[in-house]
Structure 1
Amino acid sequence: MTAAEPLRPDLARELIARAAQSAARRARRVRNQLDAVQLGQDRHADHANTKVLRRVLAEDDWPGYRLVGAEAARAAWSLALHADEDASFQRAATTLLERAVQDSDARVQHWAHLYDRTLVNCGHPQEFGTQQVVTASGVELCPVRAPDSLDQRRTSVGLSPIAAALEAVRRRLAQDHQADDFSTVVLAEVA
């Protein structure tokens, strides 16, 4: 990652703003603070974010560090991660993000999260254990391929052991006093 000015600061600002608005909406949704109209608006906003990111990927490839800087690259990852209603887009974004990682233009942890999210959304076991289901009874790991070697795969992409990651999610939920407010939500562990 470089500290140089990104090539597209205009795009960086847009990605950051969209991701921040998306995060605020998700927080309200998780706390059951949205009515039916707002839920529809939320889905529409997610669709619009996916459409914008699709355009960016078509024009500029993955918006990595060099193009938009670290904060906006993280924002792009967050938008792709939450494009759950468009599995083909998520698969394409995962491929482009993987290339950016190979070019040292993005974080491998972001790729691992998006790869897992794509697998889970397509009904397959995840590879790195980044996706959990949060219910009123607690945090459960979505199905994982070869659970016995999960920690080795997590280590290979710079993630903490699964027990520590799940405990961090549980602590965060307990601190927020929101465990009773969840129906069923798939979350991505913070990288």
Structure 2
Amino acid sequence: MKNTQIIKKLLSSMDNDQKSLTKKEEDRLLVIEKNKIFLKKVINKIGWPTIDKIGEEASKAAWLIAQHSDHDIIFQKKCLKLMKESIKNTNPVLIAYLEDRILVKESGKQKYGTQFYLEKGKWRPYPIRFIKTLDKRRESLGMSTFNEYLKIMNKKHK
């Protein structure tokens, strides 16, 4: 499989993932599993699909597949490790999202304030470690302040 084929398939997988958000849970899980199997093949062939290997959009698609593979935390952890190892060619903001996703599942507390749940029509963040230094951590990755992000979340997802 050539990188052009990988790029096309990753972008298609991302599109399928986003379309599955409105589907029944079991249908969504099938899409997620199929995407995960494909990403595993990609990783076995080229390592983590970094920006320099496949471009920014396809690399983001790979991250999205990992991010949504909640049923397989071992796979998510492997992807996070690979992303961190290739930090120079991986968007650090995406690393933060995946790291938070894993942390919320494991300890209930996130590091960057990227993970939310819906409560009474409002998006609420899962608990955040060391809240006083949250915006410094976010800023170090080029992220907006947490309060700005919270406003965006609640506008975007009404």
Q: Tell me the distance in 1 between the aligned counterparts of 2:119 and 2:9.
A: 33
Whichever residue aligns with residue 93 of structure 1, its letter is: C
Corresponding residue of 2:41: 55
SS of 2:118's partner is strand
Q: State the match for 1:85 in structure 2.
A: 71
Contact 1:50–1:83 (8 Å) recurs in 2: yes
1:23 equivalenced with 2:18 (yes/no)? yes
- Distance in 2 separating the partners of 1:13 and 1:82: 19
Structure 2 counterpart of 1:75, one-letter code: A
| Residue 136, structure 1, aligned to residue 120, structure 2 | yes
Q: SS in structure 1 opposite 2:124?
A: strand
Letter in 1 for 2:62: A
- Structure richer in helix, relative to its length: 2
Give distance in 2, aligned partners of 1:134 and 1:86.
Answer: 23
Q: 134, 151, 156: which is aligned to 1:150?
A: 134
Amino acid at match of 1:49: N
Q: Deviations over 1:75-100 (max 9, x none)?
A: 11111110110000001100101112
Q: What is the number of residues matched between the two proteins?
A: 157
The aligned residue for residue 177 of structure 1 is: none
Q: What secondary structure sits across from 2:149 in the alignment?
A: helix
Structure 2 CA distance for aligned equivalents of residues 39 and 170 of structure 1: 24
Cα distance in 1 between the residues matched to 2:44 and 2:107: 26
The gaps in structure 2 that reach 5 residues or longer are none
Query: Deviation of residue 66 (structure 1)?
Result: 2.0
- What are the superposed Cα offsets for residues 103-144 of structure 1, whole Å, 9 maximum, x if unpaired? x21111111111111111223411100111123341111111
Contact 2:20 2:27 in 1 (8 A): no
Contact 1:87 1:122 in 2 (8 A): no
Partner SS, residue 133 of structure 1 = strand
Alignment of 1:89-104 (within 5 A): 89-101=75-87, 104=88
Partner of 1:74: 60
- RMSD, matched Cα: 1.4
Query: Shift in Å at residue 41 of structure 1?
Result: 2.0
Question: Percent identity between the aligned chains?
Answer: 25
1:43 aligns with 2:29: yes
- CA offset at residue 59 of structure 1? 2.3
